[in-house]
Each structure stands twice: as structure tokens, then as C-alpha cells.
Chain A
Amino acid sequence: MAASGRIRRFFRTEQGIGMLLVSPTALYALLLLAVPLIAIFVISFWTQTGVRDFDTAFTLANYKEALTDPLYRQLMLRSLMVSGLVTLITVVLAFPIAYFVSFGVKPEHKSLWIFLITIPFWTSYLIRVFLWKVILGYNGVLNSGLQAVGIIEEPLSFILYNVNAVIITLAHAYAPFAILPIFVALEKIDRSLLEASRDLGESRTMTFLRVTLPLAAPGVVAAVLIVFIPTIGDYVTPRLVGGPGGLMIANMIQTQFLRLNNAPLGATLAVLAMLIVAVIAIAFLILGNRAAGGKKGARK
């Protein structure tokens, strides 16, 4: 009775009410995210024996196969390269936009600009990817346009059904993801710091490099992670515009699960992909923090 009384009292405190309120959502995430993620980890050590049957004896065979088969290794490396390049392109292209909206647009027009930038993100992903196929195709918009103005005679064929097409399409799809965090970080910069730097005789460029850029670093780090992590698992883009040479790890995971009926191997590939992404993300986070801190130290 004493214990239940204490529990009842706990749920009347600030902490208790907070816990109670968050519990339905937390429970949902626990059951539908934590449990499935643990399940996929466990199954990666099993062997498939039938349509829905598994040999549950612990084995590392799937990991051995995933790490030694050149096909899987190639897909994994290509996925990493594609998401790395897509991240680099989107963040480099996005920074000037975020900077322009934060510093060059009147305050009352800022949310309109941000709204305009985010709208394409909310329109059908499938349709957008498919339209890139239309744009980049052999008889596509780009080729017929370039032919019409006489820049090229033969249609360019290196822009569809390969890795280039995957990179262009993904860079387009993830653009708003890169702009928003950088914009938020730039908005937080105290404008008087920039004035102080100019008053102390720094040039506009040096002020940007030594004050604005280091202060925007957390936004850039967030942008890199928010683009890099989901792109590595993209399925639709490589499938529609990648051709056989542009397929990525998510396509193989899908094949293992839905076509080859080898869920354990698919699970292994999924676990490995998540592990690699997590390691890279954490390493980047540490490096990013150190870089931002290092620059601060250099300012003296």
C-alpha cells in the first residue's frame, strides 16, 4: 500500500505528469520502432528455411556473405558514394540560399521564401522522380532542348539510367532538407556580432569566414546528417532512374525480402547499412563539433 501510494504521489508531481503524458507516444514508438529494430537485428543471425519459417540457431553466415560477396560490397560502396556526393552537392548549393533568405530578405518575407522552398518537398515523391526520368531521358526535355538550340547534335546518353541520374534526382529531392537547418542556424546569429567585427576593421569576407561561418556550423552539421542518413536508404530513385548500374543497397534489401525470400540476408544488409551510417554520422558529429570549437579558439 505504501508503494502504491508513493507511485500515486509521483504521478501528481511535475515529473510524473510529464512521464504519464508522454507514455502513449513513447509506448507506440517502443512497440512499433524499438521492437521491430531489435527483431531485424535478431533475425539477421537466423537462416530462412521456408516461406515464413526460420532456423533460429545463431549463425554469422549472413554477415559473412554480406561482407565478402563483391555484389553486396559494390552496392554498399556505391550507396555510400551516392549519399556522400548528394550531401556535398545539396549542402554547398543550399548554403547561399539559406544565407540569402536569412540576410538578404526582409523579415516579413522570410517565411514566404521558406514556404516556397519547402512546397516541392510535399508533392508526390514518385511523380517528382519519374519527371526526372522524363527530363533526363534520351528523348527527354533536356536533350531535345539542347538539340533545339544547337548545343548538341546527338542526345546525351550519360545522364539517364546511371549513377549521375540518381545523384541529380536525389540532390533535387533533398534540397529543402539542407536549406532549413542552415537557415535556422543563420537566423540565430546575433547581428551585432557582425557589426562588431566590421567595426574592429575586419573586411566583409573575413567577417563571413571568421564570424558567420563558424556560427553557422551547427546548422551545416545538421544539414549534412539530415541529407546523408535518409539518402543512403533511398529505393525509388535508383529503381526509376538508376538503371542496372545505379542500383543501391535499398534495392537489394527489397529484393532479398520480397523476391528472393531471404529475410535474414535482407535484415543483415539493413543492419550493416544502419551501422555504417551511424558510425559515419557519429564521426562527422565529433569532427564537426571539434571544427566549430577549433575555429572559436582561433578567434582569440
Chain B
Amino acid sequence: MKSLKTYAILYLIFLYAPIFLLPLFAFNSSTIIAFPLESFTTEWFTELLTLSEMHGALLNSLKIAVTSAVLATTLGIFAAMAVSRYSFPGQKGIMGFIMLPLVLPEIIVAVSLLIVILRMGLDTGAWSVIAGHTLICTPFAIAILQSAFAALDPSLEEAAYDLGETPASTFRLVTLPLVMPGIISALLISFTISMDEFIIAFFLTGAEPTLPVYLFSMLRFPKLLPAVMALGTILVVLSILLITIAEFFRRRGAKRTGNDTGGFL
């Protein structure tokens, strides 16, 4: 086990190596992204403030990510409730299909949606990115919510019915508060996925780029690369923060019943 542990630590270093390099270059005064480092600067972070196109892209991305997260979590709640409570004909097939975007290459989702949109004579835009992101975020939301719903004791809901509550008020007063940690976790994960997604946005964004699409275009200009490093640092810190909060809520939900499966995937 000892040599395995050494291997595991080396493996973690390999996993984190690129991320650790990011702040080194983001705070380095050299305009070339290479060693040796020169001196400390925050210049690249202030440069980000001057890139007005980036601000538009950021707003666009936020708008898309919030909408996709809400839609994917809502769709996730329906599906997770259906599979954790009821069995229905064709359950395996239907759920397998809903979860398909987990393994389907994103470029397939992107081009097939693009074709349908163009064939219908519509124009791509933020709405089509939202449609695509909702599709790929829903399986993640379902995976998280399913364990939240499975953990729920059905007798609590039955008690509410017996006390005269309607299905709607039972859901609002009993079910929803109990699965709330799962819902928050699903929202945060979906938001993070959408904020970060590139391929679908690249095909479907139209004239207004999302943040990753704008970032991709920045990579072609060597002059902008230090600013890319600064932007990347901020994005990585934010993702880690969001994921940590999501994990906190997911675990709090899991702890109530003691069935912690250990991860989102």
C-alpha cells in the first residue's frame, strides 16, 4: 500500500500540474508564457478590465449558464422523482436515452442541433446554446438528484397527505425542503458545466460569443496570452469554489441518510 500511496500522490501532482502553473504565469511580468519567471505583476488582471468584448461574453455566458442550470435542474427533478419513486414501462430505455449526452461526443450534439436549427430557418443565438447546454447538463442533474430523492423517506409525504395536504402543497412543504441540498448541488454543477462548455457554444452561439468561445479566439493572439492566464486563474478559482459548495450540499443531503456514494459521476 505504501508504494501505491506514493503513486497516488504523484498521480495527483500530474492531475494538478497544469492548474498550478496557471497562477505562476498570470502573475508573471513577462509577455511570453515560459520559464524562467520574471517579476510579480497584477498588470494582466487589470488588462482584463479593459477588454470590453470579454465583458459582453462574460455577461452572455452568465445569462446562458443561469438559464441552462435552472432548466436542467427542473427537468432533472421530474426525471429523478419518476425513477426513484415509480417504475413505469420502458423505464430503462427512456432513462438510458435521457442520460446519453453523458457519453455522446459534444460535437455530435452540436452539429445535429445546428442542422435542425438551420433547416427550420431559425438563427442561432443565446437561446440555442441554452437549449444545447440544458440537454448536456440534465444527466448530471439527474445523477445528483436521484440520490437525493432515493434518500427521502416516503412515509413523510404520506403523513402530509394524511394530514390533508394536496400533492402540490406536500411537494412544496415536505419534499422540496428535504431535497433542497441536492437541488442546490445540481444547480451549481449545471452552472459550472455550462460556463465552461466550448464546443456546443462554438457551433450555436451566433454573433454573440460566450466566454469560452471568446477565450478560444484570444488564444490566436500571443499579445493576449498573459491576460488569458489571468482570466484562466479567475475561472479555475471560481469553478473550484462552486464545486466545493456543491459537494458540501451534496454531502449534507447524503449525510441525512448515510448513503454517501462519494462523487457526482
Contacts and interface: CB of A to CB of B under 8 A. Distances in A.
Contact of A97 (B8, B94, B100): B8
Given A122-B239, A257-B203, A101 B8 contact: yes
Majority-rule SS of B interface residues: helix
Contact of A120 (B1, B19, B32): B19
Nearest to A131: B18
B94 A235 contact: no
Given A33-B100, A100-B5, A145-B35, A126 B215 contact: yes
Contact of A39 (B78, B91, B116): B116
A77 to B, nearest CB: 17
A244 interface: no
B107 A22 contact: no
A268 to B, nearest CB: 11
Nearest to A225: B103
Contact of A127 (B15, B101, B236): B236
A128 B78 contact: no
Classify chain B: how many residues form its interface, as a range: 35 or more
Interface in B4-39: 4-5, 7-8, 11-12, 14-19, 21-22, 25, 32-36
B85 interface: yes
B8 A250 contact: no
Contacts of B108: 37, 40, 233, 270, 273-274
B156 interface: no
Nearest to B95: A22
Contacts of A29: 97-98, 100, 135, 138
Contact of A111 (B11, B135, B251): B251
21 contacts: A15-B89, A16-B88, A22-B91, A25-B138, A29-B97, A39-B116, A40-B108, A52-B121, A100-B1, A111-B262, A124-B232, A127-B228, A127-B236, A131-B19, A134-B21, A139-B32, A144-B35, A180-B265, A229-B104, A253-B111, A274-B108
